[in-house]
Chains A and B, each alone.
Chain A
Amino acid sequence: MILRTKNLSKKFGNRWAVDGLNLEVEKGQIFGFLGPNGAGKSTTIRILLSLIKPTIGEFSFFGQDFRKTGRNVYAKIGALVEKPDFYQFLTARRNLQMLAGLSGGVRDKRIDEVLEIVKLADRADDRVKSYSHGMKQRLGIAQSILNHPEIIILDEPTNGLDPEGIKEIRKLILRLAGDFGITVFLSSHLLHEIEQTCSHVAIIDNGKLVVQGEVHDLLRKNDFYVTEVQVDDPQRAVALLEKETWIQKITSGDGVLKIQIPAESRPHLTQFLVENGFAVSSVIPRTSLEDYYLTLLNRDVK
């Protein structure tokens, strides 16, 4: 077990920002930490990195209670909390040199390596103030892997980036996990980011854990596969399908039927519609964490 939290809680004033959180992250996972803004994700991460103290609860890295290991454990952990703020008046290389110095046992050569990984080698000797937001974000990830960490904790690393930047960071995260075997703890409020990047997910809302598990399993277990269908007479189709017991849920809007059925029932659905005389113009399977997520949070599913 790389990371475990037990009843982790943090109270600000009268409000519990994090409330009895139990997380388990195994080696090799890309663990998504998902929740809407204000759910307590950043607070949890700040506790894990000792930027703030928990009100109650405990956490451990690599199976060892943090109260026993203390800050020494951070030698094996990389982190990027929210937007990366470096010393703007210093070069990227100088920033990394200083952080490497504080990490212990990081060779100078490693600085060139990480700059290469995040594709900033050619701008290494420029002052950080001349960097774009995307470049700073990549530099943030570079500093997080300086010390060959076993786990990196990334808090909303794609925040404020343009689509191209988001894509780059996402590719980088997958590469870190795939090529370097680093366990990734990724916090995000972007559902599709978690869906596309993570193997495991924990969903948090109002400081409380809603669910955690393997992304694929969570979707399958709940049969949360939605099939979008366009037919010539949607109203009649809804009336007919609602009577069928193998249909879990059906909604319609803008001429599109959203039908919740297990993935293996899709061929049967198409056959059923054709046999009942509908002209089927499209059948689009959609496996979305979004609907699942919104359902769990008791929000409206579109």
Chain B
Amino acid sequence: MTLLLKATWYEIIKIASKWRTYIGFITIAILVPVIMFLVRKYGFGVQDNALNSMKDSFMFVGSLVNGLIVSYFLMNVLWVHFPFFIVLVAGDVVSSEGAAGTFRIWLTRPISRFQVITAKFIATFVYTAAIVLFLGLLSVGLGMLIVGGGDLFVFDKGILILSQGEALYRFLIAYLLAVWVQMTVASLCFLFSSLTSNSVGPIIGTYATLVVMFILSVLKIDALKVIHPYLFTSYFDVFFAPFSDPIPWREIAGDVGKLGIFILVFYLASAISFIRKEITT
């Protein structure tokens, strides 16, 4: 166990020592404040459109636009765009060592391959969690700071008004679920990474898989409904579930469980592949 903890810590050091790790953090650190400042200065078109459709039924006084609403809409990047930051690192974790030849030294130590791959997987999880939570903290934090706080209006099946305190609690749950969703992407990329010796292949492979799955998920064709449960993208919207009232815990637990199965399968497949791998480079 101690050896696994050490190996995990070393994997985190390796990830943290690479320039590519910070591309996502830097992009988020630039993009989020820019968006918040622009919203503050020029308003929030999406919100206005949503409100316009309800002007006949409701009377709104003042502005409902606040940092929490902007943060809520920003969560949409978690679907397709954000996974790029995940695969950029996850795709490199195993494959780069095969290409660089570092396994020749690393694997001659009295540590099992299962521990090595597990350490890498945990480190990938740590990175995934860190960058998702960074996005959450920055968007909610800077949103409130720059645009301002207040109640959160959620337009879904109707209008849900959440107090600031309640909204923050929902954001916390939502971003924890987003970590789990992104971890599914990371673990798929991790699997591809363990099969190859270059990091470009896993990145392209994961994205191609994501796009195909999204297409299959959104097509409202009856024949495709049969395969929907087997597509992990079918459960990606779980991070929006906490913004319903009441929070559908049972559905969330179900989706988390199903995504967990995908993560477990990808992890075990990676482990089997890595343990059987012959280090000839």
**Given A89-B18, A98-B10, A72 and B110 touching (CB < 8 A)?**
yes
Check A71–B18 contact: CB distance below 8 A: no
Q: Is B77 an interface residue (CB 8 A)?
A: no
**Given A52-B278, A71-B110, A103-B109, A87 and B104 touching (CB < 8 A)?**
no
Closest partner residue, chain A, to B103 (CB atom): A51
Residue ranges of A at the interface with B (Cβ–Cβ < 8 Å): 46, 49-53, 71-75, 77, 79-90, 94, 98-99, 101-104, 140, 143
Check A79–B108 contact: CB distance below 8 A: yes
Chain B residues, Cβ within 8 Å of A53: 278
**Given A46-B280, A52-B278, A52-B280, A98 and B108 touching (CB < 8 A)?**
no
Chain B residues, Cβ within 8 Å of A81: 104-105, 108
CA A17 to CA B60, docked complex, whole Å: 80
* 4 shortest interchain CB distances as A-B pairs: A85-B101, A51-B279, A102-B109, A52-B278
The secondary-structure label for the interface of chain B is: loop
CA A227 to CA B207, docked complex, whole Å: 70
**Given A52-B279, A89-B17, A74 and B110 touching (CB < 8 A)?**
yes
Closest partner residue, chain B, to A46 (CB atom): B279
* Interface range for B: 20 to 34
Q: Can you give 7 contacting A-B residue pairs, CB < 8 Å?
A: A50-B107, A81-B104, A88-B100, A94-B13, A99-B105, A99-B109, A103-B109
Chain A residues, Cβ within 8 Å of B106: 99, 102
Chain B residues, Cβ within 8 Å of A80: 105
CB A8 to nearest CB in B, in angstroms, measures 15
Chain A residues, Cβ within 8 Å of B219: none
Chain B residues, Cβ within 8 Å of A84: 105
Q: Is B14 an interface residue (CB 8 A)?
A: yes
CA A143 to CA B102, docked complex, whole Å: 13
Chain B residues, Cβ within 8 Å of A73: 110
Check A143–B105 contact: CB distance below 8 A: yes
CA A122 to CA B271, docked complex, whole Å: 40
Chain A residues, Cβ within 8 Å of B6: 101-102
Check B107–A51 contact: CB distance below 8 A: yes
CA A51 to CA B279, docked complex, whole Å: 5
Q: Which of B3, B14, B105, B111 has the most CB of A within 10 A?
A: B105
Check B108–A74 contact: CB distance below 8 A: yes
Q: Is B163 an interface residue (CB 8 A)?
A: no
Given contacts A81-B108, A87-B14, 18 further A-B contacts (CB under 8 A): A51-B104, A51-B107, A51-B278, A52-B280, A53-B278, A74-B109, A79-B108, A82-B104, A84-B105, A85-B104, A88-B100, A98-B13, A99-B109, A102-B7, A102-B111, A103-B109, A104-B3, A140-B105
CB A174 to nearest CB in B, in angstroms, measures 23
CA A3 to CA B111, docked complex, whole Å: 20
Tell me the chain B residues, 73-104 only, with Cβ under 8 Å from chain A: 100-104
CB B17 to nearest CB in A, in angstroms, measures 5
CB A159 to nearest CB in B, in angstroms, measures 13
Q: Is B112 an interface residue (CB 8 A)?
A: yes
CA A94 to CA B13, docked complex, whole Å: 10
CA A101 to CA B109, docked complex, whole Å: 10
* 0 or 1 for each of B97-137: is its CB under 8 Å from A? (1 = yes): 00011111111111110000000000000000000000000
CA A82 to CA B17, docked complex, whole Å: 25
Q: Which of A71, A86, A88, A99 has the most CB of B within 10 A?
A: A71
CA A98 to CA B10, docked complex, whole Å: 6
Chain B residues, Cβ within 8 Å of A86: 102, 105
CA A145 to CA B105, docked complex, whole Å: 12
CA A89 to CA B111, docked complex, whole Å: 23
Tell me the chain B residues, 1-54 only, with Cβ under 8 Å from chain A: 3, 6-7, 10, 13-14, 17-18
Check B280–A85 contact: CB distance below 8 A: no
